[in-house]
């Protein structure tokens, strides 16, 4: 492999890409919680990356930190991980990721921590890309990686992200499916976000401009009023910009599910719904608000209800599993068998490594599922998932609309588009059936 530097062609050798040093530290995420950041040095390159964390965490995700928390994770990195990966080839991403699993030995990263594995996997990839002098998306996806994801942004939030102060539905989202460029798409979502407070105040005169973990507005609205507000702004901005902007929701239904009662408990709306009533309710929302995206409408073990909803609305709506699948290929295989959902959230920290996330994306595409690269509510200023979305051809990236730790990923995609120049295209083909 080669690169150009000051007009001189340099040959990159295994000696250049060998990992020569590794370091980890504690930093803070967007919620002010401690997380781990890893630095990887090769002979001629350097990569730094950190791990995010979620508030709505699936039961089947890997363990973020070992017993003992962040300090135990740092100790594990220093004593277990670093000595073993130093000397490995950063170009061998699969080999490094496999080594992390071997070093942990538990199957869920409870020894070294999933956050440790994620930050290390990311940092190794960045170090290899830097050694070759190419962007991360190109290093992982090759020369043909040129399709950009549509941004799916949370504009009005509730649930755990809003500490129970907003609607029961965790996220009301927008996606500019009519946008022809990355810049245009990002701007469209931001315009919706910026216009929303005026409309929220029509329904909630006491709204003071509060925001939640992901930068979405938070207000004491019922689910229906919150959806009405976003729907109104989406139509207004769509007409103004001449871009089709559609709505979606993340119900985060596992957080509403009461297994003892066998019902979904909507505290704000003072409603309890059985699984059948939940199915009817979500179906009605898809029809009333022309939803193009519904995430986690049922709890994380109810594969059959996901399948029923897909049968009802899957021709016009991306029924997406997050807690249902947790980026785990074995969970996805179970879903494929019963046709549960037709979209899957991809959060690399749910499985700990880039390689495992890639395997799940590949399986999803093979069976017609839409892979959605996603942030976490507790984010860092890392831009890695923007590159992963392009590298692995994800048609959608879910990463908020505003806020430093969110906008850094969107701005990075604008830079990627500029780097690609005329080759840059929005990843429309997998989404065309969902467009008007």
Look at residue 175 in the predicted model and tell me its pLDDT: 98
> Which one is predicted more confidently, 15 or 191?
191
Look at residue 436 in the predicted model and tell me its pLDDT: 83
Query: Where are the alpha helices (H) located in 61-107, listed in sequence order?
Result: 69-76, 82-85, 93-104
**Nearest Cα to Cα of residue 325 among 308, 354, 347, 310:** 347
* Fold annotation for 11-133: Enolase-like; domain 1 (3.30.390)
Averaged pLDDT for residues 180-200: 98
Question: Going by C-beta distance under 8 Å and a sequence separation of 6 or more, which residues neighbour residue 6?
Answer: none
Q: Which of 11-20, 260-269, 350-359 has the lowest mean pLDDT?
A: 11-20
Please report, for residues 48, 220, 224, 302, the alpha-carbon distance to residue 192 in angstroms, rounded to integers and kept in the order given. 33, 19, 18, 33
Are 154 and 213 in contact, with CB atoms under 8 Å apart?
no
Q: Kind and range of the H or E element at 226?
A: helix 223-241
Q: Kind and range of the H or E element at 50?
A: strand 46-50
Task: Tell me how far apart the alpha carbons of residues 418 and 416 are, in angstroms, rounded to a whole number.
Answer: 5
Look at residue 162 in the predicted model and tell me its pLDDT: 62
Look at residue 41 in the predicted model and tell me its pLDDT: 98
Banded pLDDT at 15 (limits 50, 70, 90): confident
pLDDT of residue 7 exceeding 50: no
> Which one is predicted more confidently, 60 or 329?
329
Mean pLDDT of the chain: 94
Q: Please count the CA atoms within 13 angstroms of the CA of 27 that sit on its side-chain side.
A: 23
Q: Is 333 a catalytic residue?
A: no
> Which one is predicted more confidently, 198 or 59?
198
Banded pLDDT at 3 (limits 50, 70, 90): very low
Look at residue 416 in the predicted model and tell me its pLDDT: 98
Q: Express each pLDDT in 110-123 by its tens digit.
A: 999 999 999 999 99
Please report, for residues 89, 178, 231, 308, 389, the alpha-carbon distance to residue 435 in angstroms, rounded to integers and kept in the order given. 44, 8, 17, 22, 20
Domain 147-434 annotated CATH 2.40.170.20: no
Averaged pLDDT for residues 187-206: 96
Banded pLDDT at 90 (limits 50, 70, 90): very high
Averaged pLDDT for residues 40-56: 91
Averaged pLDDT for residues 130-154: 97
pLDDT of residue 5 exceeding 60: no
- Catalytic one of 214, 308, 383, 405: 214
pLDDT of residue 10 exceeding 90: no
**Nearest Cα to Cα of residue 356 among 76, 130, 96:** 96
Are 252 and 170 in contact, with CB atoms under 8 Å apart?
yes
- Catalytic one of 347, 398, 409, 412: 347
Banded pLDDT at 166 (limits 50, 70, 90): confident
| DSSP line for 112-171 | T-HHHHHHHHHHHHHHHHHHHTS-HHHHHH-TT--EEPEEEEEEEE-GGGGTTSS-SSSE
Question: Going by C-beta distance under 8 Å and a sequence separation of 6 or more, which residues neighbour residue 195?
Answer: 233, 236, 237
Look at residue 4 in the predicted model and tell me its pLDDT: 42
Q: Express each pLDDT in 22-45 by its tens digit.
A: 999 999 999 999 999 999 999 999
CB atoms within 10 A of CB 275: 18
Burial readout 199-208 (b: 16 or more C-beta within 10 A, e: otherwise): bbeebbeebe
pLDDT of residue 211 exceeding 80: yes
Q: Is 365 a catalytic residue?
A: no
pTM of the model as a whole: 0.95
Are 90 and 45 in contact, with CB atoms under 8 Å apart?
yes
Look at residue 11 in the predicted model and tell me its pLDDT: 73
Averaged pLDDT for residues 234-261: 97
Are 352 and 109 in contact, with CB atoms under 8 Å apart?
yes
Every domain of the chain and the residues it spans? 11-133, 147-434
Averaged pLDDT for residues 403-424: 97
pLDDT of residue 1 exceeding 70: no
Are 40 and 16 in contact, with CB atoms under 8 Å apart?
no
Long-range contacts of 300-306 (CB under 8 A, 24+ apart): 300/58, 300/59, 300/60, 300/254, 300/324, 300/326, 302/275, 303/334, 303/335, 303/338, 303/340, 304/338, 304/340, 305/275, 305/278, 305/279, 306/335, 306/340, 306/341
Three-state secondary-structure class, residue 258: strand
């Amino acid at each position: 492999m080669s690169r150009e530097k000051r007009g001189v062609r340099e040959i990159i050798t295994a000696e250049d890409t060998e990992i020569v040093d590794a370091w980890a530290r504690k930093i803070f995420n967007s919620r002010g919680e401690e997380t781990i950041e890893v630095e990887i040095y090769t002979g001629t390159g350097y990569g730094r990356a950190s791990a995010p964390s979620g508030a709505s965490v699936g039961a089947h995700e890997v363990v973020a930190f070992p017993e003992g928390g962040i300090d135990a994770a740092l100790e594990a990195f220093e004593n277990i991980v670093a000595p073993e990966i130093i000397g490995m080839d950063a170009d061998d991403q699969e080999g490094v990721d496999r080594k992390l699993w071997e070093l942990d030995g538990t199957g869920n990263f409870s020894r070294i921590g999933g956050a440790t594995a994620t930050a290390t996997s990311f940092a190794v990839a960045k170090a290899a890309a830097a050694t070759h002098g190419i962007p991360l998306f190109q290093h992982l996806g090759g020369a043909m990686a040129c399709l950009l994801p549509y941004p799916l942004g949370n504009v009005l939030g509730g649930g755990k992200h809003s500490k129970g102060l907003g609607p029961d539905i965790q996220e009301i989202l927008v996606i500019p499916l009519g946008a022809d460029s990355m810049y245009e798409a990002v701007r469209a979502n931001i315009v919706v976000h910026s216009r929303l407070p005026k409309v929220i105040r029509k329904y909630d005169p006491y709204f003071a401009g509060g925001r939640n973990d992901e930068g979405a507005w938070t207000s004491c609205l019922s689910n229906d009023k919150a959806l009405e507000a976003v729907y109104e702004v989406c139509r207004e901005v769509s007409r103004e910009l001449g871009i089709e902007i559609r709505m979606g929701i993340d119900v985060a239904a596992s957080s509403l599910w009461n297994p003892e009662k066998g019902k979904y408990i909507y505290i704000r709306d003072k409603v309890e719904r059985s699984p059948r009533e939940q199915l009817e309710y979500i179906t009605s929302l898809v029809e009333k608000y022309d939803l193009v995206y519904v995430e986690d409408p049922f709890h994380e073990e109810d594969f059959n209800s996901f399948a029923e909803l897909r049968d009802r609305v899957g021709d016009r709506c991306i029924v997406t599993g997050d807690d249902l699948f947790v980026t785990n290929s074995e969970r996805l295989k179970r879903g494929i068998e019963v046709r549960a959902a037709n979209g899957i959230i991809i959060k690399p920290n749910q499985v700990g490594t880039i390689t495992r996330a890639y395997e799940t994306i590949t399986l999803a595409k093979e069976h017609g599922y839409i892979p959605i690269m996603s942030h976490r509510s507790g984010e860092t200023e890392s831009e890695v998932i923007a590159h992963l979305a392009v590298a692995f051809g994800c048609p959608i990236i879910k990463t908020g609309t505003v806020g430093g730790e969110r906008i850094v990923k969107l701005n990075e995609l604008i830079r990627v588009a500029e780097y690609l120049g005329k080759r840059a295209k929005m990843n429309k083909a997998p989404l065309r059936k969902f467009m008007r």
